[in-house]
Amino acid sequence: MGEIQAQPLVADLNNDGELEVFIADMRGNLAAFNTRGEEVWERHVRSAVSQGAVAGDIDGDGQLEVVLGTASGFVYALAGSTGTDIPNWPYRARGRVQAPPTITQLMEGSGLQVVVPAFDGFLYVIDGLQGCADVADMGETSYAAVLVDDLDGDGALELLATTMSGNVYAWETGAPYHPLKTWTSQTLGPNGGVARYGYVGIYATPAARRPRDVAGQRLQVQFEVLDKRVAFADNGTLLPGGRGPYNVTIILKGVGVKEMRAGESPVVGVADSFPGPGRYTVELPCPRAQASAVVRLELTDASGLQYSDEFALSFHLSFHRLLKWAIALPLGLMTAVLAAVARGHDHGQ
């Protein structure tokens, strides 16, 4: 291949149950290889690719597509199994694309949307099914991937972009928040380049991640393991769904010996294995002292790919505030009563 500037993408692109490595170079050569170094498919797009590709089921057909931008302004969506263009793609922006695409769901339906800035100063939101786009005019160029999260806690997603002029833009959307819709860094975890919503991942349920202060000795965390990946045997037979077993670890980040009060080796998490996708509940010890912590869920599938989710909770803060009032209020009332009795006694004399 030619000069490679783009980060590789690792995923099961062709649903054979094994991982493939996708590479793009500055000459426009695209290729997918299996883990033995054998070529699965290749093609040429006649334009430089300087940023890494991402993958997602953008058209809702249950198969992964590889999405990447080029210096000629084209945004490609390739069938992960063959490398051919999916219907209604590629999309052409009016300037070169030198930022990694981001995939999320901003509009209800069976597909996902591709969000990417171009050097014409526009931010493009391209629908995976229709291949048409909504645009936002930044008037500035960007090399950076657009991030997606609920920044202000209103239950809806926001898009976050930065520009070469030094500005930071945040756009509100009408899309409801879901942990698997977020894209909080260019790479999702140690190997994450695949959109998770409706496809694969782990997330805490709304009840579990509800902001609150926790009192007691045990914390129940309910979570869901999602895996809608399919796999086909060499003879074309559909293999059972899922890529289990799934090893799940839940830890309290930011909590140590002092907060746990459990000796020199405090238990700050639990680990377990689950056979298939579904909803599960686990318990882990709570800190005994006042603490704030990030509850982090980590899942590793049979291929070694990792997925994660996290949310913040506080422990015993409200209890200690109540304890303060439980002590202070009786003392205050007693002082007031004694003062009243003293005044009455003085008036009697």
Residue 205 lies in a domain: yes
Residue 219 lies in a domain: yes
Domain check: are 282 and 309 in the same one? yes
Identify the domain boundary among 148, 181, 214: 181
Residue 53 lies in a domain: yes
Task: Indicate the number of domains in the chain.
Answer: 2
Domain check: are 171 and 249 in the same one? no
Domain check: are 98 and 229 in the same one? no
Q: What is the pLDDT along the chain (349 residues), one digit of tens a residue?
A: 999 999 999 999 998 888 999 999 999 999 999 999 999 999 999 999 999 999 999 999 989 999 999 999 999 999 999 999 999 999 999 999 999 999 999 998 879 999 999 999 999 999 999 999 999 999 999 999 999 999 999 999 999 999 999 999 999 999 999 999 999 998 887 778 999 999 999 999 999 999 999 998 899 999 999 998 876 666 767 666 667 889 999 999 998 888 888 767 678 899 999 999 999 999 999 998 899 999 999 999 988 889 999 999 999 987 445 445 455 556 666 776 667 666 666 655 5
- The CATH number of the domain holding residue 139 is 2.130.10.10
Domain check: are 166 and 207 in the same one? no
Residue 229 lies in a domain: yes
Tokens 């520009």 correspond to what residue?
Answer: 163
Domain check: are 146 and 25 in the same one? yes
Domain check: are 56 and 171 in the same one? yes
Domain check: are 166 and 238 in the same one? no
Domain check: are 210 and 308 in the same one? yes
Range of the domain at 101: 9-181
Residue 192 lies in a domain: no
Domain check: are 37 and 177 in the same one? yes
- The CATH number of the domain holding residue 244 is 2.60.40
Residues 6 or more apart whose Cβ sits within 8 Å of residue 79: 63, 65, 85, 86
